[in-house]
Amino acid sequence: MFHKILVANRGEIAVRIIRACRDLGIQTVAIYSKADRDSMHVRLADEAICIGEAPSSESYLNIPSIISAAEIADVEAIHPGYGFLAENAHFAEICESCQIKFIGPKPESVRLAGDKALARETMKKAKVAVIPGSKTVIKDQHEALRVAKKLGYPVIIKAKMGGGGKGMKIAHNDGKLLNAFLTAQAEAEAAFGNRDVYMERYLNEPRHIEVQVLADGYGNVIQLGSRDCSVQRRHQKLIEEAPVPSLSKSLRKKLGEAAVRAAKAFQYENVGTIEFLVDEDDRFYFIEMNTRLQVEHGVTELITGIDLVKEQLRIASGEKLGYNQDGVKFAGAAIECRINAEDPDRDFMPNAGKIEWLSLPGGPNVRVDTHVYPGYVIPPYYDSLLAKVLVHGKDRASAIHIMLRALREMEIRPVKTTISLHERILNRPKFRQGKVSTNFIQSVLVPPGPDQIAMQQAG
């Protein structure tokens, strides 16, 4: 096992990784930007090195600064967390060439999965279904029209190097397609420095279901069950849960098997996630592989009892998986709510500023992963995730009750957050039934009509 590693991230995930290291007796080095001087990960790590100015491009994405910090601190490995450089094959390669272990898969796997058009081809060869779409990158508007005609509307244009919902545009007819194609290209260029896009049929009411995989360096690949991440806004996840509710035993099995096949096709090592969309007829299609730890990894940890960050560290240090597929046991149900510094009543406008008052939930079966504390000033430069509230119940119904209790206890002032929106979602009959699609959030955000208000007033 490693003796000392560098955590190349910030926020709640840096804290999460430092905690896992401490449990394993590993020394940690935090890096931080000037805007994060007072951040919790800086306080908790054994050492901390300032690597640059507030903008990510000058700090958390600055490869030379991070490698210099790793060399000065003399670490054996770098944990990239999620976001920033976590899925950057070039960074993984540079770590390797500097004899610093990148805690994640090999650069080739990152590259293969990161090119979504190539990943689709890889999946077809591995007999994992992909959404009907263009064979590869779409060159021009004429080709876009031809492919859309063949697929049938609606279609979605996606960035080849995409991520975080950027560079995705939906078109319902020829007229809208040309504009969608050009905007997707422009967005892709701005976000990823690459304007290549491809096209898929747009599924109407899909569920986003993903499978956690675990692979060591000795060819052992297993899966740790699935998560439902259908509660999304603008293709960004808000609530995740495990196991997936209302999923037949046979579909659960097929998804698990397809995920293992997919991970093997990517020659995968370490923890990763295979994302699928499942349509109304329970047909499932691969959409992408995330070659890193997911934000929502905690729900899988709660139902399996397996610490995924510790597994990442063990695998990267060369250990074999300590169990096989039959050794994975599932217990109860877990839910995660992402508490973002956004105002749901004002189109989710991000909220920066000082947290004057903070009261975090506690009690049995509640876990809060966060980097914030009373007096913490939220910098405006990074993502808006403030905390993840995770709960574990004996079944889904009890997990929902525990989450509602936790959300009720939670107070963050004066910053606007998504807490009340989560309460609304959890109280919706459709959510309670456990079969919501990725469009579900629309029905929660629509302001109540006069009839509903009258009914509410009547009691």
Select the span of 198-206, 214-222, 248-256, 422-430 touching ligand ADP (CB under 6 A).
Answer: 198-206
Closest CA to 298 of 341, 230, 242, 371: 242
- Per the residue annotation, which of 10, 120, 292, 367 is the catalytic one? 292
401 binds ligand ADP (CB under 6 A): no
**Least Cβ distance, residue 411 to ligand ADP (angstroms):** 31
Select the span of 12-20, 117-125, 161-169, 184-192 touching ligand ADP (CB under 6 A).
Answer: 161-169
Concerning whether 408 is annotated as a catalytic residue, the answer is no
- For the chain, state the CA radius of gyration: 22
117 binds ligand ADP (CB under 6 A): no
Select the span of 195-203, 330-338, 406-414, 420-428 touching ligand ADP (CB under 6 A).
Answer: 195-203
Q: Which is nearer to ligand ADP, 76 or 275 (CB)?
A: 275
Q: Which is nearer to ligand ADP, 80 or 162 (CB)?
A: 162
Closest CA to 78 of 229, 215, 68: 68
**Least Cβ distance, residue 164 to ligand ADP (angstroms):** 5
Q: Which is nearer to ligand ADP, 209 or 378 (CB)?
A: 209
Tokens of 78: 């770098």
Q: Which is nearer to ligand ADP, 185 or 438 (CB)?
A: 438
228 binds ligand ADP (CB under 6 A): no
Write each residue from 417 to 456 as x if it is in contact with ligand ADP (CB under 6 A), else as -, in one continuous string. Answer: ---------------------x------------------
Owner of token pair 């800086």: 42
Q: For ligand ADP, which residue of 120, 208, 233, 388 counts as binding (CB under 6 A)?
A: 208
**Least Cβ distance, residue 125 to ligand ADP (angstroms):** 19
Q: In what order do the strands lie in the sheet with 27-33?
A: 47-52, 27-33, 4-7, 77-79, 101-102
Q: For ligand ADP, which residue of 14, 66, 110, 131 counts as binding (CB under 6 A)?
A: 131
Q: For ligand ADP, which residue of 12, 196, 288, 301 counts as binding (CB under 6 A)?
A: 288
SS (H, E, C) the chain: CCCEEEECCCHHHHHHHHHHHHHCCCEEEEEEEHHHCCCHHHHHCCEEEEEECCCHHHCCCCHHHHHHHHHHHCCCEEECCCCCCCCCHHHHHHHHHCCCEECCCCHHHHHHHHCHHHHHHHHHHCCCCECCECCCCCCCHHHHHHHHHHHCCCEEEEECCCCCCCCCEEECCHHHHHHHHHHHHHHHHHHHCCCCEEEEECCCCCEEEEEEEEECCCCCEEEEEEEEEEEEECCEEEEEEECCCCCCHHHHHHHHHHHHHHHHHCCCCEEEEEEEEECCCCCEEEEEEECCCCCCHHHHHHHHCCCHHHHHHHHHCCCCCCCCHHHCCCCCEEEEEEEECEEHHHCCEECCEECCEEECCCCCCEEEEECCCCCCEECCCCCCEEEEEEEEECCHHHHHHHHHHHHHHCEEECCCCCHHHHHHHHHCHHHHHCCCCCCHHHHHHCCCCHHHHHHHHCC
Q: For ligand ADP, which residue of 187, 200, 240, 369 counts as binding (CB under 6 A)?
A: 200
Tell which positions 229-248 bind ligand ADP, by CB under 6 A: 232, 235
152 binds ligand ADP (CB under 6 A): no
Q: For ligand ADP, which residue of 102, 181, 202, 440 counts as binding (CB under 6 A)?
A: 202
Q: Which is nearer to ligand ADP, 2 or 285 (CB)?
A: 285
User: Contacts with ligand ADP: how many residues (CB under 6 A)?
Assistant: 18
Q: For ligand ADP, which residue of 275, 301, 336, 342 counts as binding (CB under 6 A)?
A: 275
**Least Cβ distance, residue 362 to ligand ADP (angstroms):** 32
Q: Which is nearer to ligand ADP, 42 or 171 (CB)?
A: 171
163 binds ligand ADP (CB under 6 A): yes
203 binds ligand ADP (CB under 6 A): yes
Integer Cα distance of 257 and 222 in angstroms: 9
Q: For ligand ADP, which residue of 162, 243, 344, 361 counts as binding (CB under 6 A)?
A: 162
- Binding residues (CB under 6 A) for ligand ADP: these are 131, 156, 162-165, 200, 202-203, 206, 208, 232, 235, 275, 277, 287-288, 438
Active-site residues, by number, are 292
